[in-house]
Structure 1
């Protein structure tokens, strides 16, 4: 049992005993508590690393765009949520720092590069999304189609947002966050799926 599961199980026991819940409802509450705990831990680690690296804005934008896409497209998974959280924090911090440097040195003077990258992302989503995992398989064909459509719509929405945004740092961070997430869809990182 991992750290986050341990905490969520203890909190669930307290809540379930207080409210006299059955085992199905206990399981739902444990899942919700663990997800909330991991989200908060991830968010605060990104805020801490963002303040430490003086790249808070770009880190949070990259993580928001990449994370939202991940919710519907899936992608490569680690065997524990904590490993995923640590790796994700490292990656999004790195993306944020690089995006800030790109913005500072105006290395993306052409918006065309954003559109090329997002077009590649669209292709990856069309080909591979959604990617499920052994622990969370997607068995419904209808759900798979819905997740693919939402993933495609998210890439198109990102393209529109970038088109209408004058903030270079925002655009670079958003595009890099989406691009990283799309890379996790590649079969190379999802062997056996």
Structure 2
């Protein structure tokens, strides 16, 4: 399996300099991972999106998927590096598709896409979100209900933003937001989990 823990050397350096206990080192490692991995993943996505000339649409797809994922959870690969590589390939691809396809679809076509994605995403989120993981289980029923409500609210907010962007003529961003929303909804399903497992095997 492909593994690269860029945070561990930094945690070891902090242990040496601050004379941390093993438990404190693990806490420092977790904190560093929480900051570094999302940041490096986003920088990689931005770099590829810029190189492909589709940065605004790439960021729109990344935003819609990431905003929903904050509350809904979803399938993920076991290696942070694999996760970064998947995001670096996927979201610029979605941005490129949005830039290429949106102008030919027109407002009416995009409105149909928006309605179709919302019609699929909302019921799926209501039924499946939040999706926890063995490493971070959701133990409280009240917390689970709150996360589900926030997930539904996220879908509604993104859809409202799409309507506003559609009126403004930003067709590529409307489609990119739909693609990102669809991808994150896919990650909630069994098929999404099977895909993550497949990527882990490949890596």
> TM-score when scaled to structure 2?
0.83
Answer 1 or 2: which has greater helix percent: 2
Contact kept? 2:52, 2:96, Cα under 8 Å = yes
| Matched residue, 1:136 | 136
| Matched residue, 1:175 | 178
Question: 3-state SS of the aligned residue for 2:74?
Answer: coil
**CA displacement 1:23-70 (0-9 Å, x = unmatched):** 544333211211222122211211221122111111111011101211
Structure 2 residue runs without a partner (length 5+) = 195-203
Contact kept? 2:3, 2:79, Cα under 8 Å = yes
Contact kept? 1:74, 1:131, Cα under 8 Å = yes
> TM-score when scaled to structure 1?
0.87
The alignment's C-alpha RMSD in Å is 2.1
Question: Quick one: distance in 2 between partners of 1:39 and 1:57?
Answer: 19
Contact kept? 2:103, 2:171, Cα under 8 Å = no
| Matched residue, 1:9 | 8
Question: Quick one: distance in 1 between partners of 2:21 and 2:152?
Answer: 39
| Matched residue, 1:50 | 49
Residues 1:81 and 2:80 aligned together = yes
**CA displacement 1:66-100 (0-9 Å, x = unmatched):** 01211211111212121122112222121111111
Relative to structure 1, is the Cα distance of residues 16 and 41 closer, same or farther in structure 2, using a 3 angstrom cutoff?
same
Map residues 1-193 of structure 1 onto 2, 5 A cutoff: 2-4=3-5, 7-107=6-106, 109-110=108-109, 111-165=111-165, 166=168, 167-190=170-193
Contact kept? 1:66, 1:181, Cα under 8 Å = yes
Contact kept? 1:102, 1:108, Cα under 8 Å = no
Structure 1 residue runs without a partner (length 5+) = none
